[in-house]
């Protein structure tokens, strides 16, 4: 864990949960596993606020607790996870993916679950139905069963999963320390993706109707004690597959990307998420599994598969001849390692790609292969070397390491380069968030005024106010203030867009590093 990661985690916690939670979270990140007394001493925050902050972190899955390591009677210990906190940065992408796959209902389900952390199915169905009813015309409402259907689809495709049960009190109070303090994985339970029978009949209610029924006693729906959470790994698997498909479409064509999409869909069940490659798939199975809209002859499919096998990117490799040919999708761990060379120029990018392909080259060889003048190539190589994007390896002819009798070879260490670029991305996102918070705080008064006026307009429109009244309220914001608001919103939208773009690069780099480390271990 680096200082850039801790800084970014602190900014994300402050933005979503407040300064107190940020202080507790960063204390856990810097100090590692700690008990409640240690956290109190480090933060200087009151006991009540520390307990509430820990509850928030545990509720959202960014912190886990375990029995004390000293055995029976020792206080519980808390540990925050950096990579779990960094998932907050990807919340907009999770929500957008749910909207793309399952429409507005799926979008609101995922959004509510991300906001609450862990929640029961009946609770989420009611809330989403009420929110959808608010957007409908008067006299229309969303039925609970429609929301339940969307929820079930998300569970069937493993985008949602049951929360694992916590250890029993008897196990927590055992005399011996637990063998592992890791929380149980949700997949370790047989009913992880089993939707309970919920007795929920009715429709979503509007705010006025809901206020009238607040005095009615709460009913049970049959899912008490069963909590659900977002399965982030399933979303990441979807993002990875989309990145592979997009890379193939950009490198070759749409038909090749559709073949890759088919292979990924076929291997969803047979291949573990962390696997470096898929299970072998026969050409006959791939041909039968192609979408009905793609009328590709078998001969053309074989040609495309051969093209994918021969491509330098090595998207697909051949594993045998049975069944018309056995093929393996191997680009899972090398989906895209593409550092951006905008600040160094296209020629530097050419040199970098050349070193990736040739592995080791002398300076003269780089000049010849890249077709760049000697002086420019030398300057570019030294610039890349100073930025740690390339490395210089010395191979002496004699034991004295005399420069005249030593080969100096330029090479690229892909794993270390990816880690360095990942840290740069963390720093960039932290700077973008810091800038956005600064811009928002500087215009806090104007934003609050705009929100108050929008609330007044909404209440007047709901009450059927005259157009003159609406115009009078709108004129409470002057023309210069409107211009300032438009400029601020445009600036914040650009910062948000930049955060999402950098997060896509972060995801690719994290996927590459994780897959490379897994395959080498």
pLDDT in tens, 441-461: 888 888 888 888 888 888 887
Which pLDDT score, from 0 to 100, does residue 108 have?
A: 93
Predicted confidence at residue 209, as pLDDT, reads: 53
Confidence band, pLDDT 50/70/90 cuts, at residue 428 = very high
Domain shared by 91 and 202, yes or no: yes
Banded pLDDT at 494 (limits 50, 70, 90): very high
Please state the rounded mean pLDDT for residues 34-55.
Answer: 91
Check pLDDT > 90 for residue 48.
yes
212-221, 364-373, 488-497: least confident range: 212-221
Q: Helix 414-442 crosses helix 444-462 at what angle (to 10 degrees)?
A: 70
Task: Give pLDDT, residue 206.
Answer: 63
Whole-number pLDDT of residue 65: 87
List pLDDT tens digits, range 56-66: 999 998 998 88
One DSSP character per residue, 359-412 reads S-B-HHHHHHHHT--HHHHHHHHHHHHHTTSSEEEEEESSTT--GGGEEEEEE-
Token pair, residue 162, equals 């049951």
338-379 confidence digits (pLDDT tens): 445 667 778 888 888 888 888 898 889 988 898 989 999 899
- For the segment 124-152, the average pLDDT, to the nearest whole number, is 84
Identify whether residues 405 and 471 lie together within a single domain. no
- What is the residue-averaged pLDDT of the chain? 82
Instruction: Give the long-range contacts of residues 233-237, CB within 8 A, separation 24 or more.
Output: 233/273, 234/157, 234/158, 234/159, 234/161, 234/273, 235/90, 235/93, 235/94, 235/97, 235/159, 236/273, 236/507, 236/511, 237/273
Same domain, 372 and 300: no
Within 387-478, residue ranges assigned H as helices are: 414-442, 444-462, 467-474
Higher pLDDT among residues 200 and 384, named by residue:
384
Tell me, yes or no, whether 172 lies in a domain. Answer: no
* Percent of the chain whose pLDDT exceeds 70: 87
Give the per-residue pLDDT at 186. Answer: 65
The band of 197, judged by pLDDT with boundaries at 50, 70 and 90, is confident
| Domain end call among 367, 383, 412 | 412
Asked if residue 109 and residue 194 are part of one domain, the reply reads yes
Domain edge (last residue) among 329, 348, 380:
329
Overall residue count recorded for the chain in this entry: 521
Of 299, 329, 359, which residue sits at a domain end? 329
DSSP bridge pairs for 329: 316
Which of the pair, 314 or 421, is modelled with greater confidence? Answer: 421
Domain contains 195 = yes
Whether 368 is covered by a domain: the verdict is yes
296 with 277, same domain? yes
- Tell me, what's the pLDDT at 143? 84
If you compute the radius of gyration of the chain from its CA atoms, what whole number of angstroms results? Answer: 28
Whether residue 150 is contained in a domain is answered as yes
Q: What is the pLDDT of residues 295-342, one digit of tens each?
A: 788 888 888 888 888 887 777 888 887 777 888 887 555 544 444 566
Does 213 fall in a domain? no
Are both 294 and 349 inside the same structural domain?
Answer: no
Give tens-digit pLDDT for 156-179.
888 998 888 765 433 444 444 444
pLDDT tens digits, residue range 252-306? 888 888 888 888 888 876 777 666 677 888 888 888 888 877 778 888 888 888 8
Tens digits of per-residue pLDDT, 378-407? Answer: 998 998 888 888 888 888 888 877 887 888
- Whether 380 is in a domain gets the answer yes
| Six-digit token string for 266 | 């076929």
Count CA within 13 A, CB hemisphere, residue 217.
Answer: 2
Structural domains counted in the chain:
5
Same domain, yes or no, for 488 and 438? yes
Residue 212 domain flag? no
Looking at the structure, tell me whether residues 454 and 376 fall in a common domain: no
Are residues 150 and 44 part of one domain?
A: no
Based on the fold, state whether residues 288 and 395 are members of the same structural domain.
no
Same domain, 195 and 92: yes
Do both 285 and 246 map to the same domain?
A: yes
Report the range of poorest mean pLDDT among 16-20, 213-217, 300-304. 213-217
Contact 88, 38 (CB under 8 A): no
Residue 173 lies in a domain: no
Range of the domain at 43: 3-80
* Per-residue model confidence as pLDDT tens digits over 93-110: 999 999 999 999 999 999
CATH at 267: 1.10.10.10
């Amino acid at each position: 864990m680096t200082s850039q990661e801790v800084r970014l985690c602190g900014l994300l916690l402050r933005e979503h949960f407040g300064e107190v939670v940020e202080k507790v979270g960063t204390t856990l990140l810097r100090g590692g596993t700690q008990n409640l007394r240690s956290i109190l001493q480090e933060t200087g925050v009151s006991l009540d606020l520390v307990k509430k902050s820990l509850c928030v972190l545990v509720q959202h899955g960014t912190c886990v607790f375990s029995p004390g390591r000293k055995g029976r009677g020792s206080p519980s210990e808390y540990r925050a996870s950096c990579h779990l906190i960094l998932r907050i940065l990807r919340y907009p992408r999770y929500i957008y993916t749910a909207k793309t796959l399952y429409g507005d209902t799926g979008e609101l389900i995922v959004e509510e679950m991300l906001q609450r952390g862990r929640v029961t199915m009946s609770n989420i169905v009611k809330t989403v139905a009420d929110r959808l009813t608010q957007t409908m015309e008067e006299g229309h409402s969303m039925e609970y069963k429609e929301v339940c259907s969307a929820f079930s689809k998300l569970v069937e495709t493993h985008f949602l999963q049951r929360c694992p049960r916590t250890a029993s009190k008897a196990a927590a109070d055992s005399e011996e320390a637990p063998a592992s303090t890791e929380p149980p994985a949700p997949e370790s339970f047989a009913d992880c993706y089993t939707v309970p029978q919920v007795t929920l009949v009715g429709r979503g209610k509007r705010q006025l109707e809901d206020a009238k029924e607040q005095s009615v006693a709460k009913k049970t729906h049959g899912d008490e004690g069963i909590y659900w959470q977002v399965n982030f790994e399933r979303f990441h698997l979807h993002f990875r597959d989309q990145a592979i498909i997009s890379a193939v479409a950009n490198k070759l064509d749409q038909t090749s990307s559709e073949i890759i999409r088919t292979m990924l869909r076929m291997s969803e069940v047979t291949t573990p998420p962390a696997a470096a490659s898929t299970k072998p798939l026969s050409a006959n199975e791939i041909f039968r599994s192609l979408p009905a809209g793609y009328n590709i002859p078998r001969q053309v499919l074989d040609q495309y598969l051969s093209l994918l096998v021969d491509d330098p990117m090595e998207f697909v490799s051949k594993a045998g001849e049975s069944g018309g040919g056995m093929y393996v999708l191997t680009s899972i761990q090398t989906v895209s390692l593409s550092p951006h060379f905008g600040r160094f120029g296209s020629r530097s990018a050419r040199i970098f790609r050349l070193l990736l392909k040739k592995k080791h080259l002398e300076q003269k060889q780089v000049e010849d292969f890249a077709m760049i003048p000697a002086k420019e190539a030398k300057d570019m190589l030294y610039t890349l070397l100073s930025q740690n994007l390339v490395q210089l390896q010395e191979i002496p002819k004699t034991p004295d390491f005399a420069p005249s009798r030593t080969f100096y070879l330029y090479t690229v260490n892909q794993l270390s380069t990816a880690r360095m670029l990942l840290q740069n991305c963390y720093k960039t996102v932290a700077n973008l968030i810091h800038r956005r918070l600064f811009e928002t705080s500087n215009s806090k008064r104007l934003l609050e005024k705009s929100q108050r006026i929008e609330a007044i307009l909404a209440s007047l429109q709901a009450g059927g106010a005259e157009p003159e009244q609406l115009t009078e309220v709108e004129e409470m914001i002057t023309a210069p203030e409107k211009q300032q608001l438009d400029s601020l919103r445009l600036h914040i939208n650009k910062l948000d867009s930049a955060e999402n773009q950098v997060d896509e690069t972060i995801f690719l780099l994290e996927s590459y590093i994780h897959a490379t480390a897994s395959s080498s271990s």
